[in-house]
């Protein structure tokens, strides 16, 4: 989780204490509301064990995506961490980016109700980042539709 406008400044006390009120700032100056929101987000992450959940989702995804990579030569690489995974698509037998395949997979998935994102310098990477509160049966169903999309190429 990110995007909270928080910042910190460190230095010797005599220097920091000499600056008048509002005399020290930064691009992302913190404020009480942003700090409260950040603390609330951190508490939710801890209470709902969302880091553990990201790892569970990641394990499910890596297993499914690795199986797809063995079946479909258009998949060049699977990479990521936890619940954020990426599938790099290549022209089979090469390392050449395959943006056409990426577009076809994205279109197929969208028609079946699964939203996936395109990424990558060469527009040949599919980025997956399911919500951490997503029920596992829906994740498995979405991965099945992704598999169908690769099979349809």
Output b/e per residue, 58-77; b: 16+ Cβ within 10 A. bebbeebbeebbeebebbbe
Spans of all domains in the chain: 13-47, 50-151
Q: Calculate the average pLDDT of the chain.
A: 89
**Could you tell me the two tokens for 138?**
């829906």
Q: Are 82 and 54 in contact (CB under 8 A)?
A: yes
**Could you tell me the two tokens for 57?**
């989702």
Q: How confident is the model at residue 4 (pLDDT cuts 50, 70, 90)?
A: low
Q: pLDDT, tens digit, for every residue of 99-116?
A: 999 999 999 999 999 999
CA-to-CA distance for 103 and 132, rounded, in angstroms? Answer: 26
Mean pLDDT, residues 130-138 taken together: 94
Order of strands across the sheet that contains 75-81: 75-81, 84-89, 125-128, 117-119
Mean pLDDT, residues 95-99 taken together: 96
Q: How confident is the model at residue 24 (pLDDT cuts 50, 70, 90)?
A: low
pLDDT of 3 over the 70 cut: no
> Which CATH number is 50-151 given?
3.90.1150.10
């Amino acid at each position: 989780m990110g995007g909270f406008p928080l910042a910190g400044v460190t230095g010797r006390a005599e220097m920091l204490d000499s600056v008048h009120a509002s005399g020290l700032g930064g691009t992302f100056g913190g404020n009480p509301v942003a700090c409260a929101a950040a603390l609330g987000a951190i508490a939710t992450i801890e209470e709902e064990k969302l880091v553990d959940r990201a790892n569970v989702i990641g394990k499910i995804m890596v297993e499914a995506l690795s199986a797809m990579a063995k079946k479909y030569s258009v998949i060049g690489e699977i990479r990521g961490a936890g619940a954020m995974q990426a599938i790099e698509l290549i022209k089979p037998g090469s390392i050449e980016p395959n943006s056409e395949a990426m577009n076809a997979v994205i279109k197929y998935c969208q028609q079946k109700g699964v939203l996936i994102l395109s990424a990558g310098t060469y527009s040949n990477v599919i980025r997956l980042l399911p919500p951490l509160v997503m029920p596992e049966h829906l994740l498995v169903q979405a991965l099945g539709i992704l598999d169908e999309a690769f099979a349809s190429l």
